[in-house]
């Protein structure tokens, strides 16, 4: 059984497609949502799936304390893998090392292009012909770990920024569950 934690801060559409992927899965289960915003919409989605959540209190300059609390929860729940889905806090190198399990992120750009925020807007304003997504391992340097999957589509500016954003999110929603499932299958194999 691969035990999953998802970290998300906002809308949670990627959280939802992951939750949906594992809802009737007897080999893998989403054990917890970690969120740092107490009224984020993703919490409503977690309630819908009966997935427990914890609000990580990132109070000013208290990142280490917040991370210690998260680590405690991960250890208590025996979590095997973390999927970041729009988690707007940067995890420290200490946290990544200490938790000792794979951490995976989804980024709405063809990395190494457009690391950081507003990636879709920056791609839209460029002269790029393609836009896409990257699913990658998390290391201390933001949006820089080994790539698991990259997918791209033609960048059709006639759709407008909103339309293009929509297309990118569709790609995310298709590929994040597929990649997550494969990763969990690998974890289950390694446990046998």
Binding site for ligand GRF (CB under 6 A): 8, 10-15, 85-86, 106-108, 172
Tell me which residue has its CB nearest to ligand GRF: 86
Q: Nearest distance from residue 142's CB to ligand GRF, in Å?
A: 11
Q: Nearest distance from residue 86's CB to ligand GRF, in Å?
A: 3
C-beta closer to ligand GRF: residue 116 or 154 = 116
Q: Nearest distance from residue 128's CB to ligand GRF, in Å?
A: 17
Asked if 132 and 124 count as a contact pair (C-beta separation under 8 A), the reply is no
Would you please indicate which residues are annotated as catalytic (active-site) residues? Answer: 107
User: Which residues contact residue 65 at a Cβ distance below 8 angstroms, ignoring those fewer than 6 apart?
Assistant: 57, 59
User: Which residues contact residue 134 at a Cβ distance below 8 angstroms, ignoring those fewer than 6 apart?
Assistant: 106, 107, 109, 110, 111, 143, 147, 149, 150
C-beta closer to ligand GRF: residue 19 or 79 = 19
C-beta closer to ligand GRF: residue 37 or 71 = 37
Return the C-alpha torsion angle 45, 47, 52, 57, nearest 10. 70
């Amino acid at each position: 059984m691969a035990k999953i934690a998802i970290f998300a801060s906002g809308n949670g559409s990627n959280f939802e497609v992951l939750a949906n992927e594992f809802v009737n899965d007897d080999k893998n289960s989403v054990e917890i949502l970690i969120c740092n915003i107490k009224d984020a919409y993703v919490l409503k989605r977690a309630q819908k799936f009966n997935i427990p959540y914890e609000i990580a209190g990132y109070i000013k300059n208290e990142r280490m304390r917040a991370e210690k609390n998260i680590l405690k929860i991960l250890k208590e729940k025996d979590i095997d893998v973390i999927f970041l889905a729009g988690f707007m806090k940067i995890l420290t190198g200490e946290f990544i090392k200490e938790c000792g399990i794979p951490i995976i992120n989804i980024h709405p750009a063809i990395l190494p292009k457009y690391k950081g925020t507003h990636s879709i807007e920056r791609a839209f304003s460029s002269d790029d012909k393609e836009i896409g997504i990257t699913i990658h391992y998390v290391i201390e340097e933001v949006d820089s770990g080994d790539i698991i999957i990259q997918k791209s589509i033609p960048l059709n500016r006639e759709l407008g920024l909103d339309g293009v954003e929509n297309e990118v999110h569709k790609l995310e929603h298709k590929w994040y569950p597929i990649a997550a499932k494969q990763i969990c299958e690998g974890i289950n194999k390694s446990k046998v």
